[in-house]
């Protein structure tokens, strides 16, 4: 049953308790998009629900499979990487900003990228970006490539190597 259907069912039955109202509010938020437990908790707190009502509602939704931070992390990483390649640090930062626990974010990224050569990814991203920067002098292109890769969360070592590999050497 979808979060919307459950929310409507609870509404029809007339939620009386605060935790039932918090659960309906959480389901409405989840109907729009997946969210972390921390994100839901913060949004429900801003709506005026008590900490106890929020915890009970989120625990029930978690048991039903609607709130699962590990699954959220995996789906979020997949969505981010479909748009463009990022380094592990960039993915971890994004997940933490989304409300995931840092340890869970690190674990999810490590698991997702266990068979990935981030150095090669950095080189591919640098090469693609360089094509979009024609007619720049070497120093400007180097600086822009470095900053571009840094914003995507690649390590300094991978960035330096990638930039050196894709930029033509001065004669």
Q: What pLDDT is attached to residue 17?
A: 86
Is residue 12 predicted with pLDDT exceeding 50? no
Residue whose C-alpha is closest to residue 138's, from 165, 161, 169, 116: 169
| Dist CA 137 CA 72 (whole Å) | 42
Backbone angles phi, psi at 71, to 5 degrees: -65, -40
| Dist CA 20 CA 139 (whole Å) | 60
- pTM summary value: 0.78
pLDDT digits over 106-157, tens only?
999 999 999 999 999 999 999 999 998 878 888 999 999 999 999 999 999 9
Residue whose C-alpha is closest to residue 140's, from 117, 167, 110, 121: 167
Pick the CATH number of 69-112 from 3.30.450, 1.10.10, 3.40.50, 1.10.1740: 1.10.10
pLDDT digits over 53-95, tens only?
999 999 999 999 999 999 999 999 999 999 888 999 999 999 9
Q: What pLDDT is attached to residue 105?
A: 96
Q: What pLDDT is attached to residue 19?
A: 84
User: With left for phi above 0 and alpha for psi between -120 and 50, is residue 99 left, alpha or beta?
Assistant: left
pLDDT digits over 40-61, tens only?
999 999 999 999 999 999 999 9
Residue whose C-alpha is closest to residue 8's, from 106, 167, 82, 23: 23
Largest CA distance in the chain: 77
């Amino acid at each position: 049953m979808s979060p919307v259907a459950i929310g409507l069912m609870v509404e029809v039955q007339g939620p009386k308790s605060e935790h039932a109202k918090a659960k309906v509010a959480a389901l409405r938020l989840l109907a729009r998009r997946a969210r972390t437990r921390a994100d839901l908790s913060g949004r429900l707190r801003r709506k005026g629900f008590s900490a106890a009502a929020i915890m009970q509602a989120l625990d029930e939704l978690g048991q039903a499979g609607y709130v699962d931070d590990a699954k959220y992390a995996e789906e979020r990483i997949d969505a981010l990487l479909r748009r463009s390649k990022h380094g592990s640090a960039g993915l971890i930062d994004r997940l933490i900003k989304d409300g995931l626990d840092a340890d869970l974010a690190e674990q999810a990224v490590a698991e997702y990228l266990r068979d990935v050569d981030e150095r090669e990814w950095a080189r591919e991203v640098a090469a693609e970006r360089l094509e979009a920067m024609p007619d720049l002098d070497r120093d400007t292109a180097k600086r822009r490539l470095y900053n571009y890769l840094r914003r995507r969360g690649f390590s300094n070592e991978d960035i330096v190597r990638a930039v050196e590999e894709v930029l033509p050497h001065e004669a």
